[in-house]
Amino acid sequence: MPRGILLTANLPQLQNLIKRDPAGYKEEFLQQWNHYNSIRQIFHLNPDEHATQFRELVAFIAQVATCYPKETSEFPSHISSILLESYGVLFPDTRKALIQTLVMLRNKGVTTSIDLLKCLFPLLPRTTSPALRSLIRKTILTDIRTANMKSKNHKLNRSIQAMMFGMVERGLEDQNFGDKGKAKELASDGKGTGHGEDAMWAVILTKELWRKGIWNDAKPVSIVALGCLHPIVKVQSASMHFFLGGEEQEDSDDEEEDVDVKSLHHRREVNKKTRSGDKKLQKKLNAAKKKKHGAKDHSQPNFPALQLLNDPQTFAEKLFDILNRFDKRFTLDHKILMMQLVSRVMGAHNLCVLSFYTYIVKYLTYHQLRVPAILVSLAQSVHDLTPPDALTPVIRKIANEFVHPGVASEVIAAGINAVREVCRRQPWAMEEDLLGDLIEYRKSKDKAVTAAARGLLQLYREVNPGMLKKRERGKEAAIGMSSGSHQPLPFGHSADAAIDIEGLSLLEDHLQKLREEDNVEEMDEEAAWEGWDAESDSSEDSDESEGWVNVDDSGDDHFDVSDSDDEKEEKDGKGETEKEQAATKEQTVSTLATTKILTPADFALLNDLRIKAATKAVESGGGTKAKRKLAELESNRSHQAGDAGNTFISEDDILGPRKKAKADYEERMASIQKGREGREKFGSRKGKKTKETPSSSTNREKAKNKPIMMILSSGAVRGKKKASLRQKQQKLREHIDRAKKSRK
């Protein structure tokens, strides 16, 4: 057989020979290349014809493309154009083969990551196969992660992010928001569906890259923020969950599908029994169990993403405008989702969207579904710069709807707790007569109502005791008001400039103890500052032109730094008392911050020392104030972002302590495990013969001694009477077999 015919008929053999000697088999390759071009033109006209032969040629050329880079320079663009132009009419096997070919060319360095991703991104919304969609998604994420592994690939990131911006922006012109009425009808006829799928996948991939830490700057946050304004509800929901911290189920149709436990057990019964099969089955069952019970959504907000928002005021106004204009088109759950995001942006950035409080008033009724979540949204939107005039009608509405004798005690507790959380952030929103009425509920017989009213009373004892009656102010507040040191700040005023870091003296004492135990640390610290003194920066002969200028102390009497003669007279009149007070004040201020640059480790240690001091104060009887201080410090350590006033709250803070809340899965399992402690063996012990102390006999043993008249009507006796001859023979055979085994 001639050599050319043999090589033409056996592409794997030709592929092997070309890799060994590319120059010697160039003619054979060019022959196959011309054949590929001919079939490609036919394939463009009719994809059904020569599909198998076309796949074989594509796989062959992809394997040897590195041997002939000049001849195959256009090969990746051929594959990309076929996928983008004829994807809908290709066979599934052909689609998968072409995509795998592109990935292979990228791994071999024939094509770039940008060209590969520009081809794969448009294919995601058009793919109906879950397996192929999972392959494309995994390829995209892996390629971007590999490109950013050693250092940030800014060129690739900018290109992909611009593509994602375009995928989201294409559907923003449509104003058919919501999933009810006309919007639902327009969405069902196919208009804008492609835009919605494109935006959905852009948001999904951006969230995944953010979660893996590959993208962590402001640009991916801007992509998802744009998705929050998208008219498709599914895209909106996925984007808002990114900022709210919850997990959406939009990607459950891929490799994270719900596991069918019955199908796994059935497959295990049918297939061959092996140890590896048992291990794989148990691994899948454990994963399914963990996903079902372990994935508990605590709805922790995504603090870095909220802080990286570009122009949060405009974002909050646009999002609220969508919520207000298309209110009737959204479901209640989606409206609450939008309320939560608007309120968290307002609380995180101290924004004022005053129309939000007018909008939310209509939902503040005790019979409203999911009203605790709505009250949470209201409370976390308030901050110290929110105008009290906008909040006073809201607080009055909550009091009228929730706090009156005609509702249950849980409703009253929720209403007072909601008022407390709002007033904690803006105390001037409360009216004095309303405050007096609310704190009277501390005499209620219900524990939750009493706790809520006492919390409100204690709050105003701290922030503004002047609004309380004298008998309700408490000892500390009354003493502070009489001395003038406990005065609330007016609206819009901020506290005085800090002269010290709170608790810094604790850190200074701790470091001093370490130095006393080991002097090496002090020496090392001094050595670390060597060469950083101010005098070492300037030479000795250049004192006149640069560096610090030494001033003689003897010339101090020639300078008068006072502003006027009146100030000098006032200073002389105060005498030694003011000097003593100033000296005492200077002694209380720690000098550690002026002698040492505090590192993040120092601040972490400072926080731990403050928590220890607060814990000791609670144990020594510091009262509720010490407990709240300890809770605030622990909250700051857990969140590591924002101050205590802007910490987001949950529905449990609104509902308060309940009589018996339903336990979740983790709590039930913990209770079960606690009850099993000390047991030697679980399960039934028939006859209880293994027990150390004798106990009563079993029901089976008792049945043998029952009178005959008691068991004549039982199922066991009637079954024996109705048994056939064959059943009696089987019972007899079983009895004989048991007797033989017992003799052995």
pLDDT tens digits, residue range 697-723?
A: 778 778 888 888 888 888 888 888 889
Q: In whole angstroms, what is the distance from residue 456 CA to residue 435 CA? A: 8
Structure confidence at residue 116 (pLDDT) = 93
How many angstroms separate the CA atoms of 231 and 251, rounded?
A: 20
| Between residues 321 and 686, the one the model is more confident about | 321
pLDDT at 642: 42
Determine the average pLDDT of the residues in 417-446.
94
- Three-state secondary-structure class, residue 695: coil
**Taking 50 as the threshold, does the pLDDT of residue 574 lie above it?**
no
Rounded to 5°, the CA angle 231-234-236 comes to 55
Outline where 66-152 has alpha helix (H).
75-86, 92-108, 113-120, 130-147
Six token digits for residue 709: 């008249």
pLDDT (tens digit per residue) in 210-221? 999 999 999 999
Q: Which residue type occupies 444?
A: S
Rounded mean pLDDT of 77-84?
92
As a whole number, mean pLDDT of residues 636-647 equals 51
pLDDT of residue 673 exceeding 80: yes
pLDDT at 1: 44
Reported as a pLDDT band with limits 50, 70 and 90, residue 76 is very high
Whole-angstrom Cα distance, residue 405 to residue 411? Answer: 10
Q: What is the mean pLDDT of residues 516-521?
A: 60
Report residue 179's pLDDT band, with 50, 70 and 90 as the boundaries: low
The string of pLDDT tens digits covering residues 464-495 is 898 998 888 888 878 877 777 667 888 878 77
Mean pLDDT of 421-425: 94
For the cut 70, the answer to whether the pLDDT of residue 274 exceeds it is yes
More confident residue, 37 or 549: 37
- CA nearest neighbour of 423 among 471, 447, 469, 455: 455
Report residue 719 as tokens: 């079954």
Q: What is residue 279's predicted lDDT score, i.e. its pLDDT?
A: 86
Contacts of 271 (CB under 8 A, 6+ apart): 277
Confidence band for 320, pLDDT divided at 50, 70 and 90: very high
What's the pLDDT at 65? 92
531 pLDDT exceeds 50? no
Higher-pLDDT residue of 376 and 638 is 376
Of residues 309, 342, 287, the one with CA closest to residue 226: 309
**Does the pLDDT value for residue 570 go beyond 50?**
no
Please report the pLDDT score of residue 359 as a whole number. Answer: 96
Sign for the pseudo-dihedral over CA of 659, 665, 671, 675: positive
- The two structure tokens encoding residue 677: 């402690």
pLDDT score for 567: 45
Which of 228-232, 279-283, 436-440, 589-593 is the least confident region? 589-593
Contacts of 531 (CB under 8 A, 6+ apart): none
* Mean pLDDT over each residue of the chain, to the nearest integer: 80
Question: Residue range 63-79: average pLDDT?
Answer: 92
* pLDDT at residue 300 in the model: 62
* Percent residues over pLDDT 90 in the chain: 42
Residue 93, C-beta contacts closer than 8 angstroms, at least 6 positions apart: 51, 55
When comparing pLDDT for 41 and 486, which is higher? 41
In terms of Cα–Cα distance, which of 334, 121, 135, 348 is closest to 235?
A: 334
Specify the range with the lowest mean pLDDT, choosing from 30-34, 50-54, 435-439.
50-54
Q: Does residue 76 contact residue 115 with C-beta atoms inside 8 Å? A: yes
- Whether 370 has a pLDDT exceeding 60, the answer reads yes
**Could you say which DSSP state residue 259 is in?**
P
> Can you give the pLDDT at residue 595?
78
The greatest distance separating any two alpha carbons of the chain, rounded to the nearest whole angstrom, comes to 131
User: What is the chain's Cα-based Rg?
Assistant: 38
Please check the confidence at residue 190 and state whether its pLDDT lies above 50: no
Question: How much is the average pLDDT of 624-634?
Answer: 77
Higher-confidence residue: 660 or 382? 382
- Candidate from 407-411, 422-426, 708-712 with smallest mean pLDDT: 708-712
Give residue 143's pLDDT.
94
Among 426-435, 500-509, 635-644, name the most confident range.
Answer: 426-435
Flag the least confident range among 101-115, 336-350, 365-379, 545-559. 545-559
